[in-house]
Structure formats: C-alpha cells, structure tokens
C-alpha cells in the first residue's frame, strides 16, 4: 500500500492531478455546450486537426504547442462557418475532416523521429508524462478560457439556443460562433500534445452527457458536468496508479460509468 501512496504523492502524479483538475473544469464546462450545440464530432475533428499540427511540428522541428494551436484555430475558423443549405451535410464534412487529418497525422508521424509511437501518444496520450513546466502553462490557459467563457456565457447560450433571434437582437452571431470555436480550438490545441486526443474528446462529451440526463437547470448541468469530470480524473488517476492501469483509459471508464449511472438515474426520476 505504501508503494502506491508514494506514487500518488510523487511529483509526476501530482502534476498529472493538477493538469487533470483544470482539464476537468474547462472540458466539463465547454463540453456542456459542445453536446447541446450537437457538435460532438466537431470536437473530435478539431482534436484530430491539432494532432496533425503536432505531428507536422515534430517532423519539421517547429514548436508543437504553437503548431497544434495554429492548426486548431484554422479548424475553428472552418467549423465556425454557418453551414446553411448545401448539397452535403455538415456531418459528412466533419467526418471528411476527421479522416483526412487522421491519415495526415499517421503519414507525418511515420516520417518523424519516433514513428508510430508518436501517433500512439497523440491518440491515447499520457497525463502522467506531462512535463512540470507545462502545468503552470495549462493552468493559465485554462483559467483564461474559463473566465472568458463565464463572462460571455449568456451570449454563447443565446447564440447556441436561437441564433436567428440573437441576430435580430443585434448580435453578430458569426463572430460569437467564431469566439466559441476559438476557445474550444485553442484549448484543444494547447493540451492535445500533452494528454492526447482521446482524453480531450472524453472530457468534452462524457461528463456533459450524464449531467444533461440528471440535472434540470443549465447551472446545475454545468456544475454536475464539472464534478463528473473531476471525480473521473481523481478516481481514474488513483485507480490507474493502484492497479497499474493505463491512466487515460481508466479515466474514460470512470467518465462513462458516471454518465451511465446518471443517465439511468435521470431516466428513473423522469418516470
């Protein structure tokens, strides 16, 4: 027992915990909007676009953080466009972007110094491998995104719920959409090369799912989503250390479990 307590108290685990906490708060909050706006796969596609940016950076020797962020911002600009009536659905384009950038990531990484190992890291990531100097950076970004989102939450809510009325009220919805995607893309871009695509995607989807089933008010939904993400982060990290399991997968299992239990509880209460 003392062995895992020692591991838990180690700087590596503590750094992972600190990173996980801010990811849980920001991801849980943004995730509520991602699910409500029905853009779950935009989150996945943006994460994949960022991953391609990291793979390219490793190949040509750029700064991976900068490259991932630039790729994510370009993706945000693309997805923030209003789709309207076109000959192909938005879903098809999201799928095409996801597939194209997945292939691009593999191709770029295959020519990089670490080859497929790099792809594996970009996909699954490892929160335990976050460098100590990154922790403060992620916290600063996380707090900035969180504060900006809190200050602008009513505008984001109105534009997400009823863009046409927002326009009639004088809001430039295209800019608000872009601002939302900018925060989402910026957040994904900065953290993807540290914790991987799957964990980010998990934070953006699973905590919000259970929260939407369980809670009845927007503020409650956000609170439950953030608490879900926090519980899954701490429990996942702890269990993965105790049983020597992959951390990302363990956290995701906890997020899924919470989403499942809350969905059942929500359905039971609604009956």
Partner 1 sequence: MSEPLVRFQDVQLGYGRQLVLEKVQLDIFRGDFFGLVGPNGSGKTTLLRCLLGILKPLSGEVTRSVGLRIGYVPQREMLDPLFPLSALDIVLMGRYPRAGILRSPQRADRDFAMQCLEQVGLADSAHKLYRELSGGQRQRVLIARALAVEPNLLVLDEPTNGLDLPTEAAILGLIERLHAQNGLTIVLVSHVLNVVARYATRMGVLLDGRLLVGAAEDLMQDQVLEEAYGVPVCVQRLDHHYIVAVREVEEACGDE
Binding residues (CB under 8 A) for partner 1: these are 36, 38, 151-152, 154-155, 157-158, 160-162, 164-165, 167-171, 212, 215-218, 220-221
Instruction: Name the minimum Å distance from CB 224 to partner 1.
Output: 11
The DSSP string of 118-142 is HHHHHHH--GGG--HHHHHHHHHHH
Instruction: Name the minimum Å distance from CB 154 to partner 1.
Output: 6
Q: Are the beta carbons of 263 and 210 closer than 8 angstroms?
A: yes
**DSSP character at residue 152:** T
Nearer to partner 1, 157 or 231 (CB): 157
| Cα–Cα distance measured from residue 159 to residue 173, given in angstroms and rounded to the nearest whole number | 6
Cβ contacts of 63 within 8 Å, gap of 6 or more: 57
Instruction: Name the minimum Å distance from CB 210 to partner 1.
Output: 13
Give Cα 18 to chain centroid, integer Å. 16
Cβ contacts of 258 within 8 Å, gap of 6 or more: 206, 207, 210, 228, 231, 232
Instruction: Name the minimum Å distance from CB 201 to partner 1.
Output: 20
Nearer to partner 1, 126 or 155 (CB): 155
Nearer to partner 1, 32 or 255 (CB): 32
Buried b (16+ CB within 10 A) or exposed e, 187-216: bbbbbbbbbbbbbbbbbbbbbbbbbbbbbe
Instruction: Name the minimum Å distance from CB 165 to partner 1.
Output: 5
Instruction: Name the minimum Å distance from CB 27 to partner 1.
Output: 19
Q: Are the beta carbons of 51 and 125 closer than 8 angstroms?
A: no
C-alpha dist (Å) from residue 208 to 22, 24, 59: 16, 11, 36
Nearer to partner 1, 243 or 268 (CB): 268
Nearer to partner 1, 49 or 225 (CB): 225
Nearer to partner 1, 30 or 65 (CB): 30
């Amino acid at each position: 027992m003392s062995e895992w307590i020692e591991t838990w108290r180690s700087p590596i685990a503590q750094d992972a915990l600190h990173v996980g906490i801010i990811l849980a708060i920001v991801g849980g909050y943004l995730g509520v909007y991602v699910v409500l706006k029905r853009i779950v796969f935009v989150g996945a596609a943006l994460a994949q676009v960022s991953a391609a940016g990291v793979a390219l950076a490793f190949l040509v020797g750029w700064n991976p953080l900068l490259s991932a962020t630039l790729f994510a911002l370009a993706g945000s600009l693309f997805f923030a466009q209003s789709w309207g009536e076109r000959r192909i659905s938005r879903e098809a384009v999201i799928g095409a972007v996801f597939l194209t950038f997945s292939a691009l990531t593999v191709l770029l990484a295959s020519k990089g110094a670490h080859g497929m190992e790099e792809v594996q890291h970009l996909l699954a990531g490892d929160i335990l491998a976050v460098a100590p100097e990154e922790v403060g950076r992620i916290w600063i970004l996380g707090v900035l995104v969180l504060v900006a989102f809190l200050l602008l939450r009513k505008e984001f809510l109105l534009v997400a719920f009823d863009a046409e009325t927002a326009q009639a009220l004088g809001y430039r919805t295209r800019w608000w959409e872009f601002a939302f995607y900018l925060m989402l893309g910026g957040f994904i871009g900065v953290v993807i090369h540290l914790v991987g695509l799957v964990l980010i995607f998990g934070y953006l989807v699973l905590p919000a799912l259970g929260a939407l089933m369980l809670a009845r008010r927007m503020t409650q939904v956000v609170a439950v989503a953030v608490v879900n993400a926090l519980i899954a982060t701490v429990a996942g990290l702890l269990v993965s250390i105790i049983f020597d399991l992959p951390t990302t997968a363990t956290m995701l299992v906890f997020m899924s479990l919470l989403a499942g239990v809350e969905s059942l509880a929500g359905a039971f209460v609604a009956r």
